[in-house]
Homo-oligomer: A and B are copies of this chain.
Amino acid sequence: MRIGIYGYGNLGRGVEKGLALNPDLELVGVFTRRDPASVKTVSGAPVYAAEQAESFVGQIDVMILCGGSATDLPEMTPALARLFNVVDSFDTHARIPEHFDAVDRAAFQTGHTALISGGWDPGLFSLARLYMSAVLPDGKDYTFWGRGVSQGHSDAIRRIPGVKDARQYTVPIAEAVEQVRAGKQPELSTREKHLRECFVVAEEGADRALIEKTIREMPNYFADYDTTVTFITEEELKRDHSALPHGGQVIRSGKTSEENRHILEFSLKLDSNPEFTGSVLLACARAVGKMHVRGIFGCRTMFDVAPADLSPLSPEELRKKLL
């Protein structure tokens, strides 16, 4: 199956690295909105300008779109779905229905297959929530994220005047996780589930007290959380906070009768969020390619993909080896 990577930041590089581990998938090239001459790929794969993508119609089976959810993907995915089968990792939960509709229309009209919101949340964690609620309907589930770097929150801090660089970790509160894991079904406020740790490099002479106050009071991002702010040097940031770990867990507890309670948990501990997300997108691309061959057009999510389609193994091998 011939794969293209459209957008070459952390996620695009993650997809590229994952390709080496999937011998049935082959990288045709990387498409960038930057000057292609300025971009060097990890694997040495060729780099093309984004505008050249159209000339690759017929040479790429699935294009993996590695733009951001805020502004890139709402435009990019429907546009590319008119030319290619596509996969994206759109993760603005509230806007998924409208994104789905736009991509579905574009893909269906042109006979393409698209999958949006691939990755781990949305993605594997969504699947965990779906499977768990289907098999244990009388229950309650909880999702915890972290300890891991939130790029969105890190960016929000960087936009504060006087901030040179920043890294924000989302941290699940251990007591909350333990209560849920014990099957207690507590009511937890936002503040009781996660806390936020911020590491900030201030510009010389900046008002650190004001920066800290601005972070702590920032609506949506920090105001509803217990937030710690630690000022560090640029060298410390580089040395101690350059990785992008993440993870978390989905836990559901519930009953099948008065006497019998069950606890289900799916957890991830990831050294590199973009590499793991990229690896999930490759499995999604494989499924999209298979569905396309079967004549399934329009938009899908991981909810609609038969698990077998994500694997390079045949149905017979899967039943024999993994069932």
Please determine whether B306 and A279 come into contact, CB atoms closer than 8 angstroms.
no
Residues of A within 8 A of B (CB): 14, 17-18, 21-22, 93, 96-97, 100, 117, 122, 124, 126-131, 133-138, 256-257, 259-272, 275-276, 278-280, 283, 286, 301-308, 310-312, 315-316, 318-320, 322-323
The residue from B17, B93, B270 contacting A262, defined by CB atoms under 8 A apart: B270
Closest CB in chain B relative to A286 CB, distance in Å: 8
Please determine whether A310 and B22 come into contact, CB atoms closer than 8 angstroms.
no
* A-B residue pairs, 3 tightest by C-beta: A260-B272, A260-B271, A256-B275
Closest CB in chain B relative to A90 CB, distance in Å: 10
Among A137, A265, A305, the one with the most B-chain Cβ atoms within 10 Å of its Cβ is A137
Docked CA distance A307–B269 (Å): 24
Please determine whether A131 and B310 come into contact, CB atoms closer than 8 angstroms.
yes
A to B CB contacts below 8 Å, 5 in the list = A17-B257, A135-B310, A266-B267, A302-B307, A304-B306
Closest CB in chain B relative to A131 CB, distance in Å: 6
Question: Using Cβ atoms and an 8 Å threshold, which residues of chain B touch A304?
Answer: 306-308, 315
Please determine whether B134 and A283 come into contact, CB atoms closer than 8 angstroms.
yes
User: Given A256-B14, A280-B135, do A301 and B319 touch, yes or no (CB 8 Å)?
Assistant: yes
Question: Using Cβ atoms and an 8 Å threshold, which residues of chain B touch A311?
Answer: 130, 133-134
Docked CA distance A23–B316 (Å): 35
User: Given A126-B323, A131-B127, A256-B279, do A137 and B269 touch, yes or no (CB 8 Å)?
Assistant: no
Tell me the nearest residue of chain B to A249, going by C-beta: B265
Docked CA distance A39–B264 (Å): 33
User: Given A97-B316, A303-B306, do A18 and B272 touch, yes or no (CB 8 Å)?
Assistant: no
User: Given A130-B308, A130-B311, A303-B323, do A265 and B267 touch, yes or no (CB 8 Å)?
Assistant: yes
Please determine whether B96 and A17 come into contact, CB atoms closer than 8 angstroms.
no
Please determine whether B278 and A322 come into contact, CB atoms closer than 8 angstroms.
no
Docked CA distance A308–B302 (Å): 9
Docked CA distance A100–B128 (Å): 26
Please determine whether A323 and B96 come into contact, CB atoms closer than 8 angstroms.
yes
Question: Using Cβ atoms and an 8 Å threshold, which residues of chain B touch A21?
Answer: 137-138, 256
